[in-house]
Amino acid sequence: MKILITGGAGFIGSHLAERLISEGHEVVALDDFSTGSRANVAAIEGNPAFSLIEGTILDMPLVQRLVDDADFVIHLAAAVGVKLIMDEPSRSILTNVTGTEHVLKAALKELKPTFIASTSEVYGKAAKFPFSEDDDLTIGATKNLRWSYACAKTLDEFLALSYAREVDLPVTVLRFFNTTGPRQTGRYGMVLPNFVESALDGRPLKVHGSGEQSRCFGHVADVVEGMMRLMETPEAKGQVFNIGNDEEVTIRGLAEKVIATTQSTSAIDLVPYESVYPVGFEDMTRRIPDVSKLERFTGFRPRRSLQTIIDDIVAEKRAARAAA
């Protein structure tokens, strides 16, 4: 198949592109390099099965042309990362809502199979754990702009599922939970790459808030495997799936694991949220996915351990430093 990946030079997109090409598919990646980079796709850029188009999902004629030429569309392009969302909430809304609208409208023309990337953020402040795809969503007040991203992605989901119902668009929504691994940058507030870089430098690991808030981290290779399985599952059309690992860790515990893995002398500094983020930020105490639906539909669930994820990121960062 010829597969279009928006955000194809990004963290998840580049890993997915490599996997698809390795299995005989042709990949066209659309990226504006706002968060992605050519370095992410350096290993495949010379491959005749790979094409990289510099452009934006806000360019509707370009999106339409690329979707028309594809057999399958995977829409990953988005404004992501807590820091970016808090610093530029309007950009987050515009990119995530208008961009997704463009992709879906382009897919409608010939009812192209489409994956729409969503996020665990849509669960908001829900207090029922683990989070299941059919659970109610609990979003914070509009004055807290942290929730602008969650609302934008929720609207993306509603639009995608509306087209699935109205015109039978073969679309699937993927809710990612803290995907991490090699190639992820800490530039936009991604916690694990930042912790690893700090530990390797011997700098303090800055933990926001009390550090007792917990998260679940999924290896990018597991996320890609889940996506590949769903592509081969016709019953996934019109459905929403959590994709993530359900191994829970506190952020302080994560920092401790990184320090132990790197054998660093770094300390852990607790940093108040208000000294990091502008007014309008609030955090959640827990975020845990129920991945039983993914396993039920595909026979697969992410199982790479948190320690494996940390080991892979540490190895990548050390190799980059050795090559510099």
Contact 302, 243 (CB under 8 A): yes
- The DSSP symbol for 202 reads T
User: Band of the pLDDT at 186, cuts 50, 70, 90?
Assistant: confident
Residue-range domains of the chain with CATH? 2-180+218-245+288-303 (3.40.50.720)
Q: Is 254 a residue whose pLDDT tops 90?
A: yes
Q: Please report the pLDDT score of residue 284 as a whole number.
A: 83
Per the annotation, the verdict on 273 as an active-site residue is no
- Spatial CB neighbours of 117, under 8 Å, sequence gap ≥ 6: 7, 12, 74, 75, 76, 78, 174, 176
One-letter amino acid of 187: R
Cis peptide, bond prior to residue 234, ω within 30 of zero = no
Q: Please report the pLDDT score of residue 123 as a whole number.
A: 96
One-letter amino acid of 223: V
Tokens standing for residue 220: 């990018």
Give the closest residue to 42 by CA, choosing from 75, 74, 9, 11: 9
How large is the average pLDDT for residues 212-217? 96
Average pLDDT, the chain: 93
Q: Please report the pLDDT score of residue 83 as a whole number.
A: 62
Q: In Å, what is the CA distance from 147 to each residue of 138, 155, 156, 243, 266? A: 10, 12, 14, 21, 33
How large is the average pLDDT for residues 58-81? 93
User: Band of the pLDDT at 281, cuts 50, 70, 90?
Assistant: low
Exactly one of 123, 149, 163, 277 is catalytic; name it. Answer: 149
Q: Is 189 a residue whose pLDDT tops 80?
A: no
Tens digits of residue pLDDT in 79-96:
666 666 667 778 778 888
Maximum C-alpha span of the chain: 58
How large is the average pLDDT for residues 26-36? 95
Torsion of CA 131, 120, 191, 223, to 10 degrees: 90
Tokens standing for residue 30: 């659309």
